[in-house]
Each structure stands twice: as C-alpha cells, then as structure tokens.
Chain A
Amino acid sequence: MARYDRAITVFSPDGHLFQVEYALEAVRKGNAAVGVRGSDTIVLAVEKKSTPKLQDSRSVRKIVNLDNHIALACAGLKADARVLINRARIECQSYRLTIEDPVTVEYITRYIAGLQQKYTQSGGVRPFGLSTLIIGFDPHTGTPALYQTDPSGTFSAWKANATGRNSNSIREFLEKNYTETSGQETVKLAIRALLEVVESGGKNIEVAVMTKEQGLRQLEEAEIDAIVADIEAEKAAAEAAKKAPATKES
C-alpha cells in the first residue's frame, strides 16, 4: 500500500469543498499582505508581528524571491508556504533549463495555482493553507504584473489586492484610492493601505519594492519609518485642509 487512495477533500451535499473553505479560514487568520502594481514599480507589504527580542528577524523574511524577476508574499500557514515556494523556485530553474528563457509571471502563477489545485484533488493530502501574491516583470515585454492565488487553486491578475487578516477593509481602501502610480507613489499607496489595519511603525511592516532594473529590494526599517512619517504628515495636512474652509465660512 504505497499510495493513499482515499481523498480527504470531498464534496458536501450542497456543492462545497469544506477543506478548501477551511483553508480559506486559515488564510483569513494569517498576516495581512498587500500588493500594488504601478507603471514601473510593484510593491509588496506584509504585516509583521512583533519579533521576540531573541529572534533573528532576518530568518523570518515574509517576502521572498522566486527568481531574479519574480517575488512572492503570502498569508496563511507559513510552513505550507515554504514547501510551495521551494517547488516554485525549482520550477523557475527547470523552465530556464528546458526553454532557455526566464518564466513569465503568469506561467509561474499558473504553476503554483495548479499545485494548490492538485492538493485539493489527491488522495491522502489536504489543501495548502495559504493565498499568495506574486509580482514580477515580464522578461520580454517588461510589463509589471501582480497575481493572486488561493487554496482552491484559482488565480487572477490584479492592479492591487490584499489577502490575510482584514483583507476586505484593505481592498475597500484600495478600491477607493487606487490610481495609476509610479515609483515612490506606489510604495506610499501600498503602505497607506496596510496602515488601515496595522499599527503604524517600521517594525510592524515589511515592505519590498520591485523594479525592472534592480529586481527586488527590501526596505530598511528606517526607510519605512520615514515613509510612514510622510504619510502621517500628509494625513494631518488633509485633515487641517478639511477643517480650514469650515472656519472661513463661519
């Protein structure tokens, strides 16, 4: 009996796959993650639970490289994420070896989503408990892309999206405030979105910026603090501007 032949993810009478829905619950309990696509920059920002004093924070990177031009952030079970990320990294290199070309963002997203789907339809396994945000630039055309996958194995492209804790509020904020941005504006938009649900401060947020020329760059805590301060200042100025006309009238 080398293989398990009994499936764990089976249909309920009213057409639900409960294991997949439970997996989505696990995602909803995970850290918030935001992705924003600009015209020349793509940003991933992830909520960071306060690191214990003795922990080496460099070993708990939440935003990882899949290849030189592709990065991934996820919400949900981090151990499952490690397995998925390793398989995706191998696939990126295998593709480079066979086709002599880097993967496109869409291809690797399709691969990861396919993997997630396979585990909802195989014997003896449970679905991966994570949703991923995958960013990257197309190696041939240079266009930026942002994709999201979920435990059921579906994927789609987004201009901006959030997953994890309070993702609905973040998405609402993005829907209200999204505009085509570039460069630092994209970074600001992503951090503003995340700050809707996360305590402000550089030590609670992990931010990575991807550009075509430089690839993925993780922002330092000090940088993030500076941007957060900028955002707070802008918010205060906006508040003051709102109050000012009111006083003029009276």
Chain B
Amino acid sequence: MMKIDFSGLDPSLPVKGNAEDLDDEILAAPSFKLPVTVDFDGFQKAAVQMVKPAKGTTTLAFIFKHGVMVAADSRASMGGYICKALLILNLYKINLYLAASQSVKKIIEINPYMLGTMAGGAADCQFWHRNLGIKCRLHELANKRRISVAGASKLLANILYSYRGMGLSVGTMIAGYDESGAGLYYVDSEGGRLKGTRFSVGSGSPYAYGVLDSGYSFDLSVEDAAELARRAIYHATFRDGASGGVASVYHVGPGGWKKLSGDDVGEMHYSYYPIEPTTVEQEMADVRIA
C-alpha cells in the first residue's frame, strides 16, 4: 500500500531549489562512502597509522618589530613507510636512501603577503595551502579587500577540523601582514588554531625553540632576526636526524614576503665551527718489508 508523502509539509526541510551552487564544489563538507568491514574502528586506526607520516622537519616563525620571520629546513623523509619498501627492495639489491629528498620547499607562498609552513604530510600541506590561496583570492574578489591573517587561518582551521580523524597530517603556521599588523597563527590537523608570537613545529622544534627563545627580542633588526632564525634551524638540523638540507629564511613585512636566504646546513656548520688545523705529532713513514 503506497503511503502519502508528507515530506513536502515538513518545516525542517530546507527549501532549496538550486543545489548547484559554486559553493558546493569548493566549500562543501567532505563525505565519502564507508568501507564494509567487520571492525570499522580498528580499520580506521590502522588506516590512520599507515597514512600518518612522521612530522620530520623543523619550521619556525616569530613576530618582531619589523614583521614576521619564517624559516624552515628542506629535508623530507618518509618514516616507517619507506622502511618497509626498503626491506622489500633490498631483497632485490636495490639501494634506496632513507631521506626521500633534500630539497623540499617547506615554506609555501599562499599569496604575496602570506606564507604557510609545511610540517607533517607534504601532500596534505601543499594541497590545503593551495586551496587556502584560492579561498583568499575569492575573498579578495568578492569583498574588494584582502583577507586578514586571522580570517585566512580560521578558514584553514575550519577545513582541517571538518576532516578531523580522517588521517590528515598538517602542522602549519600561517604568517602574514595585514591591516592590523603582523599576524602569526599555528593551525594543525586536529583542528587546533593558536595565535602567538613565536612558534616552532616539527621533530626538530625542541632544538629550534632552545636557540630561538634564548636569542629572541622584539626589537631585533631584520638582519639579526634572520640570523637568529637561520641559526635556530641549523642547530635543529644538527641534532635532529629528520631535519636537514637547506635552511630557508623568509621575511614578511608591510610590503609582502621576501626570501632572504637559503643556506646549506652542512656548509653553515663549517662557517660556525671552522676546522682548526691541528699539529701533526708523528708523520707516518713507510716500513720497509724485509
């Protein structure tokens, strides 16, 4: 027996004729079909563990008198995942370096006055920063004014929150300069968002914090602040195996961001600790064999 359909009279159903908004594509809440498993929670846990790369990196940013200083290393390792592949490949006598790359750009240029740092999943960070760049540009076009750093970081944090528990790994800092001055926010894939003046993210962050916190002062000049940032990254790369490569330093000021330097940390070591020539005690001499 067919029942009468009363859904049309339901006041809680939204009256929406046009479902094909432009908004739907870019801004709709994420959703996907759930897999058919016996133990869904266990499956979820295993999936998150498999996807979760180690946040092997050092990034830092701090606000000072002349804007924001942003610095990062450039090593990308792939943690446990690559190790498994290594085992299998070693059976076939193929050599594979543990560090996947020494030249990853970890400071992402969202737009000419905002930077984002990358820690965690490289693909996640790159994609969502680009997506944030799109959103910022759309905001500019719609409202004829630039979006604030607070607003941009909030947009990113809201997206990451909606993907909470689905395996994203992002630990980023959004640094920029807007009408209310320098802005620095830490945003992560748990959905957290913190406003602050000094942040360091990644496996090398404890070492970077040590150098950064002891050398920091609000009244640093741009050169001194850049040197502090560079030194902090260098020390972190020295002690942390998952950080290395090139230390990049960017400055965000009222006129936008500018890359100040990119120095190989190996070479930096020798400029900080130059090799002293030592006196030779005894020259090695050839012994004649009888």
Contacts and interface: CB of A to CB of B under 8 A. Distances in A.
A123 B17 CA distance: 5
Interface string A66-110: 000000000000000000000000000000001111001011001
Interface in B93-152: 139, 142-145, 147-148, 150-151
Interface in A135-193: 140
Would you call the interface of chain A mostly helix, strand, loop, or mixed?
loop
B151 A2 contact: no
Contact of A1 (B5, B15, B17, B18): B5
Nearest to A107: B143
B26 interface: no
A65 interface: no
Interface in A115-138: 118, 121-125
A121 B154 contact: no
A11 interface: no
User: Interface residue tally of chain A, by bracket?
Assistant: 20 to 34
Given A99-B148, A140-B179, A3 B154 contact: no
A7 B17 contact: yes
Interface string A1-32: 11111010000000000000000000000000
Contacts of B8: 1-2, 4
A102 to B, nearest CB: 12
Contacts of A106: 143-144
Contacts of A1: 5, 7-8
A2 B148 contact: no
Contact of A99 (B5, B144, B151, B179): B151
User: Interface residue tally of chain B, by bracket?
Assistant: 20 to 34
B176 to A, nearest CB: 13
A1 B16 CA distance: 13
B87 interface: no
A125 B18 contact: no
B16 A3 contact: yes
B151 A122 contact: no
Contact of A125 (B15, B145, B148, B155): B15
A101 B15 CA distance: 29
A140 B147 CA distance: 12
A3 B17 contact: yes
Nearest to B147: A99
A7 B13 CA distance: 18
B177 to A, nearest CB: 15
Interface of A: 1-5, 7, 98-101, 104, 106-107, 110, 118, 121-125, 140
Interface of B: 5, 7-8, 13, 15-18, 139, 142-145, 147-148, 150-151, 154-155, 158, 179
